[in-house]
Amino acid sequence: MAGFAPYIMGTHNFIPYMVVVLVTLTATVLIQLGYFLWKLSADGQPKIGGAPAWQVLCALATDWRWMLGFVMTSLGWVLFVQATAMGDISLVQPLMSAGDLLLVILAVVFLKERLLLVEWGGVLMTVLGAVALAWNAEASYVTSFNSMHLQILLGCAMLIGLTLLLTNRWALRPEVSLALVVGLCFGSGAVLTKAMTVAYSGPGQTIMTWAVLIDPLLLAVVLANVFGLILLQAAFQRGRAAVIVPLQLAMANAITVLAGGIIFNEQITPLRTFGIVLILGGTTLLHLKPSTVSQGLA
């Protein structure tokens, strides 16, 4: 009955639970809108690596679509940090993956793309997965975590990532190895974000404080995500989004769910597991046919 608790308990308890879901969904909507604006501005930008750095930076800074996208993604990341402070990372990170659904809607509405039947199946699975996670949502205030388990998990992630990168040049499918490393980076970044917010996740507290800027974990969070973004670009240059996106999402979600259980003592209920599986399956179906948006975001 744990999964039904938000609905059978009083309104006072129901609101905090749903705030976690609403903050997470708002974060992913802002981030995906920012990505979409970056896609729209990409065609008119100098090629990164083929033009001087100053020219690329000037072009980006003077493009209102890119700048608006930057503002949106930045706000989305701030809300993601707040969501991890309020709720379980094993809930927040998979729910963020549902943002792919927004890209599909934007592609259909603005780019006039037509979905295949299998893609509509992906839409349905993603929606059902998000509903399952929302049904299972709960506010959690973690005051401590197992730092040794965190170090072991991140150490294993780094070891696996380095091994994949070192052997990538001989791989028959280099985009597969890169996609897995991207997932390791984004998943580790999410876990580090949760660890960083532990000190600010108590009742009545907020992550919106200047103290976060001097938190030593912030640098690790930034490096993990920046490295992931760079490798994501490299992966898309070598393979299809239909292969890369589901692989990196599966790896990122696997790390966060594992960390939720062994580091932050989160309860991974059957309903939450079912919701995560639905979202992973839905996003995989959505990327079976490479779309203009998915490839452009690479």
230-245: pLDDT as tens digits: 787 677 667 766 567 6
Q: Give the pTM.
A: 0.71
- pLDDT of 291 higher than 60: no
How many helices and strands (H and E) does the chain possess? Answer: 13, 0
| 251-262 confidence digits (pLDDT tens) | 888 888 888 888
Q: Which of 17-26, 74-83, 111-120, 268-277 has the lowest mean pLDDT?
A: 111-120
> Which residue shows structure tokens 């930034």?
222
- What's the pLDDT at 176? 81
Question: What pLDDT is stored for residue 78 in this prediction?
Answer: 84
- The closest of 8, 31, 7 to 18, measured between CA atoms, is 7
Mean pLDDT for the stretch of residues 45-63: 69
- Alpha carbon distance 1, 16 (integer Å): 19
The closest alpha carbon to 106, from 241, 246, 291, 285, belongs to 291
Residue 269 CA to residue 271 CA, distance in Å, equals: 5
Compute the average pLDDT of residues 152-160: 95
| pLDDT at 278 exceeding the cut of 90 | no
Q: Beta partners for 139?
A: 87
- As a whole number, the mean pLDDT across the chain is 76
Q: Is 114 exposed, middle or buried (0-12, 13-18, 19+ CB in 10 A)?
A: exposed
DSSP string, 197-235: HGGG-STT--S-SGGGGG-HHHHHHHHHHHHHHHHHHHH
